Chain A
Amino acid sequence: MESLFWTTLGVTVSFFPLLLLLILRFVKRRFVSHNAAIKLLVVAGSGGHTTEILRLLNSLSQKYSPRHYVLADSDKMSEEKIRCFEQKRAGKYSDSLFTLHRIPRSREVRQSWSSSVLTTVRSVFYSLPLAFRLKPDLVLCNGPGTCVPICVSAFLLKILGLKKITIVYVESICRVENLSLSGKILYRFSDYFIVQWPALKEKYPKSLYLGRIV
């Protein structure tokens, strides 16, 4: 009898936080209004990726703010591009704020597959707390290696039900016939997978083709 009591107690205690979590989530869901601002987490890669993602961001409306940029720590060029983009945007929209975050690079260009797994795990450890802290509504990335850990952590956040996050992956314009490595990985994780060439659309039916958007 004694043990029965304890087990039930243990079970209820363990279930209690989960229950609380669900209720919280339910309550939180009610308050999201349609045109509330949308917290955006953008993964900026090196060179071409940043220009592409900034072009996409440029067309977004005012409600996508604040914008959190995540860069690989070894990436110099992107920061400067992002700052001048944000300058322009601040002129256009009054209250647009953004933040820059750096995480260790998950994979150097042309780094061997095996070692990149290690580095990716390392950067996942960095991106998880970041994702937990930021709790973005939308994660937007277009292919640099660093987006894999971020998307994985965002995905984790989603599974745990802590935050309703939409992961949007836009494949880079250079990819005409086959996906980049991170594209292949995130094809399953992302909610919306956008490609820019019809050929890719055939190969990956689940993806979306909206014409050339960059």
Chain B
Amino acid sequence: MKSAFVTVGTTSFDDLITAVTATEATQALQDLGYNRLVLQVGRGKECPASFSTATFTLEAFRFKNSLSEDVERADLVISHAGAGSCLEVLEAGKPLLVVINDKLMDNHQLELARQLHRDGHLFYCTSRTLVEMLRSMDLSTLKPFPPGQPEKFAAFLDKVIGTAAATTMQKGWKKYFGQKSLSEVTMDEYLSSLGLYRKLTAKDATCLFRAISEQVYACQIHHMAVRNACVSFMRKNQLNFESYVEGSFEKYLERLGDPKESAGQLEITAFSLIYNRDFILYRHPGKPASYATDNGFEEKILLCCSSNGHYDSVYTKQFQANAAICQAVLYEILYKNVFNVDEEELRTAVEMFRNGAKKNRNSASVGSEDANFDCLPERASRNSPEKRLEDWESFDSANPAEEKCKQGTDEAKPPENPKMPFPYKVLKALDPEIYRNIEFDVWLDSRKELQKTDYLVFAGRQYYLGDKCQVRLEAGGKYYNAHIQDVGQDNMVTVFIEELAEKHVVPLVNLKPVTQVTPVPAWNVISARKGGTYQKISGGYIHDSKFIVTNMDIKSRKKLFKKVRGKEVYMTVAYSRGHPVLPPRLQHSITSDRSPSVHCSQNGHINPYEHYHFQNSQRTGRGYGMPRGSARFINRNNMTGPEIAFYPSPGKRCYQSYDNFSYRSRSYSRSRRQMQCVNKECQYGFSPENGEEPQGLEETITFYEIEEGDDTSFPALPNQGNAAAIVPPPAGFWVTRRTPSSVPPNKQGLNSSEEEVDEPSDNGEYHEDYLYTPSDPDCETTTVFNATESTANLSLQDAGTNCVAPQEGPTSYSYSQKVMVNSAIISSSACVNTAPAAIFSSSSSASTQVSSTASTPQNAVPPILVSPSVGRPVVIPSVYQSPPLPPGSDVGESGITPPYSCDPSGSDLPRDPKILQYYFNLGLQYYHQSCWNPVMYVQQAPPSPPMEAYQTYPEPVSVVDPSVPLSYTDVGRNDMRQMPVDASSTGALSIPEPPPLPPGTVYYPVVTDSYAPPPLPGYESCIPFVPAYHCVGPWYPVSPSYGNSARIHNPVNPSHFHQVSYVTSSNPALHCIAQSM
């Protein structure tokens, strides 16, 4: 039942209609098997009557608003030469016969038909030759018609308008290295129209030498040899070069020898004689090439010289095609024989890459972001390599291998997840259609490395002469007070140590800003790490009181801005292993008056962490002061040094500014494990409503690191048991809600790699699985920074706002990782074991300041994070730290076990807070085991006295609505993983609007969590980590005193700060899967 469709478009074309309805034509059609003919007559004089015989039916109509169904149903389309119909039919992939209306003589329609015929997409004839064309044409020879690419136009326009409209052209670092500027685009276009291909060369002084070495020796490595050859040649024939050089020729040659010296026309003439090749230079798009040298050699070196004297080598497209194939072969050999990757997997990976998802068509690829990828010109194949690349760029997240230059072996990281078997760069090389400019890749990477070390040096200059600081001579050694004599190069600082009265040159690592806070005698450094299982973190801060705590949740922030790929994982692991947590007594011993002096300088603009304000607690005795020093240090010049918390400005700029100031060098993390003093400010990467940069540096949270070998303290938790036992899921999943291409969070969070940030997708949106807000303006990324922890990041709100939250030193360090509700994410976060826990509560009213959502103001998306008013369940996975060891003793020898305390007033509780702490933790930990059934703790009265002391703790919003609590917790308890999915899938968890609670009512945060795997026997935890005293486990204030029972809400009182709940995550072991890669 084949049908043919005839269309004349909006005008009229009677000749075609008469010709096609003539008997020979209908006969011809029937012979070809078409027994149905549909005519669209348009304004034609007569409209033939529809008729149908046994073997042949004919329909006719004048106009239809859309011809697409007819085209779809037709097996052959006979059309007038109108552009609209032609394109529509060709894009529908239907065979097309175009009939030219020679009466019209407006031949531009003929032009298009002829061109398309030449390209093999259609046949064309006139109405008179219709019949024999029908018989003679062979439809199988028609080639598929590639659709146009309007997105190229869009990208071009963005660039053009960007430059034209904006006065300030951001010449960001990225632009300089990676992106192709407009002139480059036009140049490339011009060259490609001449069948040439410009191979990007390193954008530094060595470009000319690299280009020549590549064209002469086929690789760029010999650029130094080429340079020296030039110098010696010019020295030998001094007389004919001397005249061109003013000043001393010798000095000129000397300078030329220095790799940083660029070369020009004079050197080109020299090279032409050395390698007897003529140089052809393409200088301006549009203008033909000029002969730089004309010594009559047949061999040529083609170069493209840009206005600022940068040279790129120019090859023919043929070369590019061959090179791509050779490259593919080479990489295949490399992977098959050297890395013995099995054949099959390699082929599937390449196959998957080659027919990568076509869906991402609209990511513009003009002057594609990825400057170092040179793909072959668009071929007839449906998914041009370029498009494939764009699609892959959206997938490209995981871990581009550290590729050395071609000769070096290519150390491919073991593929992490099945979906992305090989790093993207490798796949590019493996694809025979894409010629990957490896030298430029390598150069770009080295550039980035340099960029980072610059920061390091830059940071190094933090230390001004005469600065007081604390230095230790060897890692882990004792810190001495010292003065800085001078700041040397590459991280070396000479210091004069007062106590020893000696001068030492000390690496930056061992340096630490001095802190004035009077030491707290009671605290002593957590020592006695078991069998070194705990990652040896050398260096690090000892604040005066010599108390070292590594503040776990800071890790979340650390993760936030510490975009160090592998290292991060390492760092996380290190942390996790150590997962030292502020000992409980430390946490709640903070007295408000003693609380750290560093105030969040941003008045009124309280960042979500601000409200972890530690209210005065009875046990003021053990005040623990925040190191002021570090803050002082930072405030000095607002710069972030390696030791100093990075200070990102919130919001998107947070990214950019992070980029500029960020201290994220790989080398840094490798060279020393210095904990950073984390600037609280960076926790909330929200675009500041007020738009200006927060002035002073806010309070800094200093990492304290478990020091080894000190006296009694809570022994560091050697969690060798389950490797990354308590690897808190990375705090901030920046999950773009809307951008489809956002990388699944779990992948994102757990192994966010630093690499990705450099390869933002074409349209400028960074697809990397960075923990940063992808720069895509319209996507709202929210991160929950749920620093619920210890005094370490005591944050005082501005003086102006009184802080109600009595939040007792939460002992549970929790990384709340807000997983978007969007199920795709939730499902993918399966491996992140989420405990339905009270969520960081930010009632929308206070959300501007408090809301953790990084939603840039302009996008209307309500904060994803559940705030009571939004009522959308957000599940916060969190990490539950196992209870610490009984103080001062390893598990092994812990002898004394205190008797049960049965006195309701708690008088018979053990005096020593450490013991109390320990057993409390133990109790809590078991509480989280399944052995506690939900009913049990519902009636649980608030625990021991210290609790009462705490004022109202505006307990965080819990997702749970009354109807669901029990099941919720149950589910939560026994299998954490489903929970997130259910919670989100139901999505129906409605959170009734909380009635305003009079301040002073005591509530307890709902902490539902389960520590799924029972701690290993003998599992000792170094973290004196007790879920906040007052956090009585999954306490649902069901008792009548709370009015409508288990409705958990937080008082929407703008002046109140919404305390983040103490979120305890569930089975940490789960995280280690990703971590331990």
* A29 interfacial contact with B, CB 8 Å: yes
Query: Which residues from chain A contact B378 at a C-beta distance below 8 Å?
Result: 211
The CB with the most chain B CB atoms within 10 A, among A32, A170, A174, A214, is that of A174
Known: A60-B157, A94-B860, A110-B106. A174 touches B112 (CB 8 A): yes
Contact in complex: B286, A34 (CB < 8 Å): no
Query: Which residues from chain B contact A199 at a C-beta distance below 8 Å?
Result: 115
* B366 interfacial contact with A, CB 8 Å: yes
Which of the candidate stretches B165-173, B424-432, B602-610, B1061-1069 sits at the interface with the other chain? B165-173
Contact in complex: A210, B366 (CB < 8 Å): yes
From residue A49, how far is it (CB to closest CB) to chain B in Å? 9
Contact in complex: B153, A170 (CB < 8 Å): yes
Contact in complex: A30, B167 (CB < 8 Å): yes
Q: Which residue of A lies closest to B156 (CB)?
A: A210
A61 to B193, CA, bound (A): 28
Instruction: Report how many A-B pairs have Cβ atoms within 8 Å.
Output: 121
From residue B8, how far is it (CB to closest CB) to chain A in Å? 13
Known: A209-B193, A210-B156, A210-B189. A138 touches B161 (CB 8 A): yes
Q: Which residue of A lies closest to B153 (CB)?
A: A213
Q: Mark A128-167, 1 if CB is under 8 A from B, else 0.
A: 0000000001100000000000000000000000001010
From residue B762, how far is it (CB to closest CB) to chain A in Å? 12
Within 8 Å by CB of A34, from B9, B149, B162, lies B162
Q: Which residue of B lies closest to A179 (CB)?
A: B108
Within 8 Å by CB of A213, from B87, B149, B166, lies B149
The CB with the most chain B CB atoms within 10 A, among A77, A168, A197, A213, is that of A213
Query: Which residues from chain A contact B152 at a C-beta distance below 8 Å?
Result: 210-211, 213
From residue B197, how far is it (CB to closest CB) to chain A in Å? 15
A80 to B186, CA, bound (A): 36
From residue A137, how far is it (CB to closest CB) to chain B in Å? 6
A72 to B10, CA, bound (A): 17
Contact in complex: B157, A138 (CB < 8 Å): yes
Which range holds the interface residue count of chain A?
A: 35 or more
Which of the candidate stretches A4-12, A50-58, A96-104 sits at the interface with the other chain? A50-58
Q: Mark B351-379, 1 if CB is under 8 A from A, else 0.
A: 00000000000101010000000000010
Query: Which residues from chain B contact A34 at a C-beta distance below 8 Å?
Result: 162, 165-166, 168, 170
Contact in complex: B160, A61 (CB < 8 Å): no
Q: Mark B766-802, 1 if CB is under 8 A from A, else 0.
A: 0000000000011000000000000000000000000
Within 8 Å by CB of A211, from B109, B149, B286, lies B149
* B150 interfacial contact with A, CB 8 Å: yes
Contact in complex: B165, A137 (CB < 8 Å): yes
Query: Which residues from chain B contact A214 at a C-beta distance below 8 Å?
Result: 87, 148, 150
* A203 interfacial contact with B, CB 8 Å: no
Tell me the interface secondary structure of chain A in the complex: loop
* B111 interfacial contact with A, CB 8 Å: yes
Within 8 Å by CB of A59, from B109, B115, B186, B362, lies B362
Known: A172-B83, A206-B286. A59 touches B153 (CB 8 A): yes
Q: Which residue of A lies closest to B145 (CB)?
A: A212
Q: Which residue of A lies closest to B164 (CB)?
A: A166
* B158 interfacial contact with A, CB 8 Å: yes
From residue A178, how far is it (CB to closest CB) to chain B in Å? 8
Which A residues, 30 to 56, have Cβ-Cβ distances below 8 Å to chain B?
30, 32-36, 38, 47-48, 51-52, 55-56
Q: Which residue of A lies closest to B778 (CB)?
A: A62
* A191 interfacial contact with B, CB 8 Å: yes
From residue A189, how far is it (CB to closest CB) to chain B in Å? 15
Query: Which residues from chain B contact A172 at a C-beta distance below 8 Å?
Result: 83
From residue A141, how far is it (CB to closest CB) to chain B in Å? 13
Besides A59-B153, A214-B150, 18 more A-B contacts (Cβ < 8 Å) are A34-B170, A47-B82, A55-B148, A59-B362, A61-B763, A110-B106, A174-B112, A175-B111, A176-B111, A191-B164, A196-B148, A197-B115, A199-B115, A208-B189, A209-B193, A211-B152, A211-B378, A212-B149
Binding site for A on B (CB under 8 A): 9-10, 82-84, 87, 106, 108-109, 111-112, 114-115, 146, 148-154, 156-158, 160-162, 164-168, 170, 186, 189, 193, 286, 362, 364, 366, 378, 763, 777-778, 860
A-B pairs, 9 with minimum CB distance: A59-B150, A34-B166, A59-B154, A174-B83, A213-B153, A176-B115, A176-B111, A212-B148, A48-B84
Binding site for B on A (CB under 8 A): 29-30, 32-36, 38, 47-48, 51-52, 55-56, 58-62, 64, 77, 94, 110, 137-138, 164, 166, 168, 170, 172-178, 180, 191-192, 194, 196-199, 201-202, 205-206, 208-214
